[in-house]
Structure 1
């Protein structure tokens, strides 16, 4: 189980520091229903990651993800595809990054975030975790690593739970500051939001490129062994 956790920690950390969800929860905490919206968004996020990971774990055993504790060929092929996607997506994002970070623009949907109902806030957290083109490949890759390690079911579930917990730290940090930070919380969260907005594209581009190369290396090891 230790080796598996070593494999998935990088993916979890990349999901955790994904700037857009962090900006989204900070904006939600600034709404009049911040004490409701923040936890709702976080719960949706956790369920989204858990559901996507659980689906991958459910697929892995029947599809023979592991043979004698060695990942199956299709796992190597999956990591190859995910690795190529992340490398190309990261390179594209880096090329498109603003030359001046102060000119970075947030997605238009964030402008209406203060008008979202609680149900939509929950759905937003779910979507940014499970359907987002940046986070979904990382979660799938992590779950594929867990499912192909030949672990007992209990250890697979525990490994996925640890992945989800670490991947949620990026949201738990601003939520904790908001709930416990008192008067200074607004200033602190505002500074975090501004930094994340300026460096969103560059941070994710670098992470995707590095993790994509790791997946490509993993896939080559699986497919050639």
Structure 2
């Protein structure tokens, strides 16, 4: 179990610091339905990430270890393919970054958050956690790392639970700040939102690059 948690933890941290989900929950905390929308968003995020991870574990099965105790060939290839996918996403992020002094374009869903209800907040979180290509590839990579580290189904799901908890810290942190500081949290959260929007491309490029290289290195090392 420890090896599965250790293999997936760096990727969970990558999900943790993904800017857009954090920006979304920050925006919800300054609406009229701040608490209900934020908690619905957290629930949708957990369900989305956990569902993708569960599906990967079930689909990849319990054949994580080969007869000689090493990583099987298919698992090494999957890691390399996922790593290449992460590197391609990093390249796309870098090429799409705003030019110096240029305001990064805001996704259309940001403008609609003011009128969100809890079901819409849940749906947005599910989409960002389970459908958004960057996050989807990260969660699949994390679950694949878990499966390739252990063939014990119970250990796989314990490791997935740890992965989901760590991956949720980023979107949960603004909610904790809001609950602790109340109305005084507005300025802190606004500064956080502005910084993450401005630096989204750079943050994601570095994350995807590092995690992509790690996945490729792990895959090559297992061949």
**Shorter chain as normaliser: what TM range?**
over 0.9
1:74 correspondence with 2:74: yes
**Residue 165 of structure 1 corresponds to which residue in structure 2?**
165
Count of residues in correspondence between the two structures = 222
Aligned-residue offset at 1:61: 2.2
Query: What is the TM-score with the length of structure 1 in the denominator?
Result: 0.93
- d(CA) in 2 for partners of 1:101, 1:123: 33
How well do the aligned residues superpose, as a CA RMSD in angstroms? 1.5
**Residue 4 of structure 2 corresponds to which residue in structure 1?**
4
Aligned-residue offset at 1:32: 0.4
CA offsets, 1:85-111, max 9 Å, x none? 111210221122123266122212211
Aligned-residue offset at 1:182: 2.2
CA offsets, 1:160-213, max 9 Å, x none? 011000000001100101111123211110110010010011100111011111
**Residue 65 of structure 1 corresponds to which residue in structure 2?**
64
**Residue 39 of structure 1 corresponds to which residue in structure 2?**
39
Query: Following superposition, which runs of at least 4 residues in structure 1 exceed 4 angstroms of deviation?
Result: none
- d(CA) in 1 for partners of 2:40, 2:70: 39
**Residue 87 of structure 1 corresponds to which residue in structure 2?**
87
1:98 correspondence with 2:98: yes
Give yes or no for contact 2:37–2:116 (8 Å, CA) kept in 1: no
**Residue 206 of structure 1 corresponds to which residue in structure 2?**
206
- d(CA) in 2 for partners of 1:124, 1:74: 34
Could you tell me which runs of 5 or more consecutive residues in structure 2 were left unpaired when the two chains were aligned: none
Structure 1 residues 125-140: aligned runs within 5 Å: 125-140=125-140
- d(CA) in 1 for partners of 2:61, 2:108: 41
